Amino acid sequence: MNTEERQLAEMLHRVTPEPPRRVTVEDIAFRLANEAGTREYRKPRGGRREYREPGTGRRGPRGRGPRNPGRPWHRGWAPALAAASVFVVAGVSAGAAALVSSHQGHHATSTADGPPPSSVSVSSTPSTGPSQPSASTGPTWPPEQVAGGTWGAQLINRQAFTPGSLAVAPDGSSLYAISQGYLDRINAVTGEVVNEVPYTSPIPGFPNRPVVAGTAVWVLTSYSGTNAVLAGYSLSTLAPAGTVTVPVSGQLPSQPQGVLAGGSDGNLYVAAGSSVAAVNPQTRQVTKRITVSGQVSSLAVAPGGGKVAVAVGAFQLKTYDLATGSQLSSSSMNFGGAGGNLIATSGGVWGTVGVGMTQRVWFAPNGDLSQVVMVSQGAGAGLYTVPTSGGGAVWLGGSHSLACANPDTGQVLARTAVPTDHSIVEYFGNVTVAGHGRTYALYQNQAAQQSGVATLVPPAVCSG
């Protein structure tokens, strides 16, 4: 080596940082297990996969079967099951969450002559610990136009997910959603569920969306007593990435709705009783705690990362400076219920109030409830009405209409009617926009017994 080469070598060794974590044998083992599972499934005995109705051996109707024979039928919409199911919109259980419970479990045995189960090394773990992932592949169904093509809606996946649980990876390659007993990773192009990990929300009936931070997707695994526990799973495989236990100050609220949020600083923020805790997902440490007067039932971090908005009681909206922990504002609204499902945009804070049939969405300019505007009326859509933010707009779902709104002013920019199917309502909600602009929503049609992830092509005005 000459002098210049030696200088380069020395500089590379000097400047290259130490990795934040090391690769472990367990990481490799999980990877191999997942790859083995995928290979195993891709070569099923008996060759070609066919979807057959359980118990009958008959081939099911096209487009009505499960998207994954590894989890045959039970996660799709079976007429017999649906007939026996109960779909409750109204009530404290916040409506459409009941959809998920109307379906049977995940890992049933394979159908008579269907392929073998695709799951690999699925283990049951304590509710507070990270679970092991399993990999699965299945047929990808051709996208199917739904709801009369509302905003170009096409169903790319046929599975029942918990409303309000859809999240997307930073690179837009994967979606994450909660189904009955599982956290799923979904191929954002094909709609195929490619990994799953056992997961049950510790707050049934209230939406707590998975949050993507760093290289992991985080969910609450415990939210009671003196601790809130988060578990992270790899964005690419759902392999466990770690857990974080957040001690609670005071008591946890009785109706937590959106108590885990991500900040633009890469941190996770958790409503921990009468405080907000900031968690560094990389070090898995609580790095900051902001004391709040009252129990925090929901929180959202402002886009710039400078402040956090919290809903307290029934209800006050307060904002705090994240750097100093000082309270910046406080206002209240008497609507007979707690505020929840907060999101913060450049123009203010959005959220819901009420549950079930009465749940509606509000917008508080600059986080001030004295100026509150109701942007959607109670539509009986339960969790499908939970507002989301992405792609330069705020999205409002429901059973009557799907709308996008200006994140600065709260003004609705475009709205489209969600049709009914033989007088039975259909639902759109949890609109999620990937970084590359592709737009997704959760969809459900009770009459056709269809549900799953749909792609949307909203009007240009929605993209700001």
Which parts of this chain interact with other proteins (CB under 8 A)? Answer: 4-5, 7-25, 27-29, 31-33, 35-37, 40, 120-121, 169-171, 173-174, 212-216, 234-236, 265-266, 280-283
CB of 232 to other proteins, least distance (A): 11
Retrieve residue 151's tokens.
């905003």
Judged by beta carbon, residue 118 or residue 295, the one nearer other proteins is 118
Q: 3-class secondary structure for the chain? A: CCHHHHHHHHHHHHHCCCCCCCCCHHHHHHHHHHHHHHHHHHCCCCCCCCCECCCCCCECCCCCCCCCCCCCCCCCCCHHHHHHCCCCCCCCCCHHHHHHHCCCCCCCCCCCCCCCCCCCCCCCCCCCCCCCCEECCCCCCCCEECHHHHHHCEECCCCCECCCCCEECCCCCEEEEEECCEEEEEECCCCCEEEEEECCCCCCCCCCCCEEECCEEEEEEEEECCEEEEEEEECCCCCEEEEEEEECECCCCCCCCCCEEECCCCCEEEECECEEEEEECCCCEEEEEEECCCCEEEEEECCCCCEEEEEECCCEEEEEECCCCCEEEEEECCCCCCEEEEEEECCEEEEEECCHHHCEEEEEECCCHHHCEEEECCCCCHHHHCCEEECCEEEECECCEEEEECCCCCCEEEEEECCEECCEEEEEEEEEECCCCCEEEEEEECCCCEEEEEEECCCHHHHC
Judged by beta carbon, residue 211 or residue 220, the one nearer other proteins is 211
Q: How many CB atoms lie within 10 A of CB 243?
A: 16
CB of 198 to other proteins, least distance (A): 15
Judged by beta carbon, residue 22 or residue 422, the one nearer other proteins is 22
Judged by beta carbon, residue 214 or residue 382, the one nearer other proteins is 214
CB of 48 to other proteins, least distance (A): 23
CB of 37 to other proteins, least distance (A): 6
Query: Distance between alpha carbon 365 and the CA centroid of its chain, in Å?
Result: 26
CB of 318 to other proteins, least distance (A): 26
Judged by beta carbon, residue 3 or residue 254, the one nearer other proteins is 3
Judged by beta carbon, residue 173 or residue 226, the one nearer other proteins is 173
CB of 34 to other proteins, least distance (A): 8
CB of 137 to other proteins, least distance (A): 13
Judged by beta carbon, residue 196 or residue 426, the one nearer other proteins is 196
- The burial class, CB within 10 Å (0-12 / 13-18 / 19+), for 277 is buried
CB of 176 to other proteins, least distance (A): 12
Judged by beta carbon, residue 137 or residue 416, the one nearer other proteins is 137
| Triad 203, 96, 243: Cα angle to 5° | 30
Judged by beta carbon, residue 336 or residue 437, the one nearer other proteins is 437
CB of 281 to other proteins, least distance (A): 7
CB of 19 to other proteins, least distance (A): 4
Judged by beta carbon, residue 15 or residue 84, the one nearer other proteins is 15
